[in-house]
Each structure stands twice: as structure tokens, then as C-alpha cells.
Structure 1
Amino acid sequence: MKMTDKSRIFKARFTIADLRQQRNHKEVFTTSLTKNETLDHFILKLLGYSFLSYDSSAQLNTDKNLPDVSIKAFDEHYTKWLSVDEPDLKRLLKVAKLVDEFIILTKAHSQWLDQARPQLSRLPNNHLIEIDSQFIDQIKQHLTRNLEWDITIDHHSVSISDQANYYYTKQFNWH
């Protein structure tokens, strides 16, 4: 059995005010940065989880063959499949045919997004969430192993406050 590098383990305590879903709730969980995962991917995955956690069956996944965040129906098919950062586009186009709702959370104005947008626009069941990279970079600079975040999600922005800082999106598009 392999020992886990403790510096890669995070304790999350999220208080989420989701104005899009008109829900307030708390999420407490332990998660880890996987071996080849970038901090950008990790932060986007946590944000994606906060966007879907209004549904108690939302699940963070670490297996690269699964969505980063998912919601399954009782019959085990995916009702929501969320992939973050710069997912494999060929794989996503196949998966999109098998799920009810397909969501991509990525940084706005990225080269990946510019290349993927034409193909994604042809999928009827997809949603694209774009967040400015400056928001992710600010969180990354102050990331600690204890993630005590107060997250507010509304139709035009996302903000996070922790014990020392306040971060907010300059760009947040959910289409």
C-alpha cells in the first residue's frame, strides 16, 4: 500500500450560497490533489463541485475515466457530467451522447476553448462555464490545506472568501 503525501490532502469546509439554485448549504469533505493533477484543474474541480453540490448525489471523482464531478440517477446513468480545465475533446464528444446534461468548466479565453467551441456548440445538451484565469490564479496563490471557503454563486459572478482573503470573478459566463 502506498503512503499518501500529506501535503496533497485538503480538508474542505464550504458554506455555499447558490443564488442560481436558491439554495444555501454546507459541504465538509476531505479531498486530495492527484499525482498528475495541476492546481488549476484541482481548483476548477472544487468550484465545479460547489456548482453542483445543491444536489446531494453530486460526487467528486479522481479517476480520469470518470467526470470530474458527476450526478447519477437511480439507474446509474449520468444526469450531469462535469469536466474541468482542458478535457480531451474527442472523449467528451462521445460522452456527451450518453449523458443527460454535459457541462464544461474552463478558463475563459484559453487556446483550448477557442479550438473546442465550434464542436461544442453543436451539442444540444452541453453547457459551458467560463471563469477568468485571474480568479483561479488568486485562489492558487493563497491555497492552504484547510479550505474554509464561503462561496457565493449568482448568475453573473462567483466569489469566495476564506479566513484571510476575498476573491471574485471578473468574468463568469454560464451558457
Structure 2
Amino acid sequence: MALPSTIYKTSIQLSDIDRGVYESLQATVAKHPSETDERLVARLLAWAIFHEPELSFTRGLCVGEEPDLWVKGPDGRVRFWVEVGLPESDRIIKASRHAEKVALLACGRALANWDQQHLPRLTGLPNLTVVSLDQAFITTLAARLERSITWSVTITEGTVYLEVDGVTHETGIRIKTGVLL
């Protein structure tokens, strides 16, 4: 019998000063049994960093052909495709052909190797933004993960400040290709 997903209630106060975005984000997010806490944290961070009004979580790991987050137009076409992790470059190239905008929050323990192997193939895609965050930042947040998540996220001058339970954590956003959307 398959293990059930774990449900997380999420509330994020987002102040993206760089883009002039100030929102209260609420979502119920399912963590697939094979998903790590670090990956869930990365998905939530991508939701905040690339926030647009209609950006929503997909079925993710359950459906291999969907991104982690997306904005779909009224005609059903994907307008904004957001990946998290270290996907194959072919997957990102294919997404860039089908979506108006594509973003990748590149993160994981093998990020340096992924950069060398895949980033050169992606640098020429005009509708792609690749950013990364320090893995230690993600790991620290994952260690504090609870089923009810309440974060205050401030993004300014290329730095993410995330307050949880009265403690503020910070890391820089490294833009690897494109510009921060």
C-alpha cells in the first residue's frame, strides 16, 4: 500500500521590495512520501521568490510532465513554468519552448556539478531565469519545518530574509541566467 502525502498549511507574508510585491500567501501543500523536507522548503521558497497572482502548486512529483508551480492561461496553456531542484537541461529547454516564461530555483547538494553540466546548455534561452539559494539556508529551514508553516519573507537587493518563530535567516539570491522575474 502506498504511503499518503503529508499535508502542510502554509501562510507566508511576502514583501518583495525589489519587485514591489506585498502579499499574504496561503496554501495547503502536499508533501509526497518520496519528497524531502528540503525539497518542500525549496518549493515554498520558489512560490515566494517567483510569486505572481495566479502562481499555483501542481501535482508535482506525482505527475512527471508538470512543473512544481505554474500559471496557466484561460486557454489551458502554461504561461509560467517553475521548476525546483536540479532537472535535466532537456526538460528546461522543452519547457522554454512551450511556456511564455520559465524559472528554475536550482538547489541541491550536487548544485556545483549541475551548474557545470547543464547551465551552459541553458544560457541562451531568452525566457528562462535560473536562480539559486545557499543549500545550508534551505537545510536550516527544513530542520525547523512544522505542519503549520508561518513565514515572513522579505526580498530586497538580491537577499532573502525569512523570519520563522522570531528568528531571521538570510541568504543571497544568485541569478545564474536571465533576470529575476
- Aligned ranges 1:105-120 → 2 under 5 Å: 105-107=105-107, 109-120=111-122
Amino acid at match of 2:94: K
Select 1:50's aligned residue among 48, 53, 56. Answer: 48
Cα offsets for 1:79-127 (capped at 9, x unmatched): 2111011123222221211111111101385321221110011212111
Paired residues of 1:40 and 1:85 also in contact (CA < 8 A): no
Q: After TM superposition, which residue ranges in structure 1, 4 or more long, deviate above 4 angstroms?
A: none
Give the total of aligned pairs: 171
Distance 1:113 1:144 in 2: 31
**Identity across aligned pairs (percent)?**
21
Aligned to 2:69: 69
* 2:120 alignment partner, SS class: helix
Amino acid at match of 1:42: L
RMSD: 2.0
Unaligned runs of 5+ in 1: none
* 1:110 alignment partner, SS class: helix
Aligned to 1:78: 78
Aligned to 2:143: 141
Select 2:16's aligned residue among 6, 15, 18. Answer: 18
Amino acid at match of 1:59: S
Aligned to 1:101: 101
Aligned to 1:165: 167
Distance 2:173 2:145 in 1: 21
Select 2:34's aligned residue among 33, 36, 46. Answer: 36
TM-score norm. by structure 1 comes to 0.88
Distance 1:151 1:112 in 2: 27
Unaligned runs of 5+ in 2: none
* 2:97 alignment partner, SS class: coil
TM-score norm. by structure 2 comes to 0.85
Structure 1 residues 138 and 152, CA gap change in structure 2 (3 angstroms): same
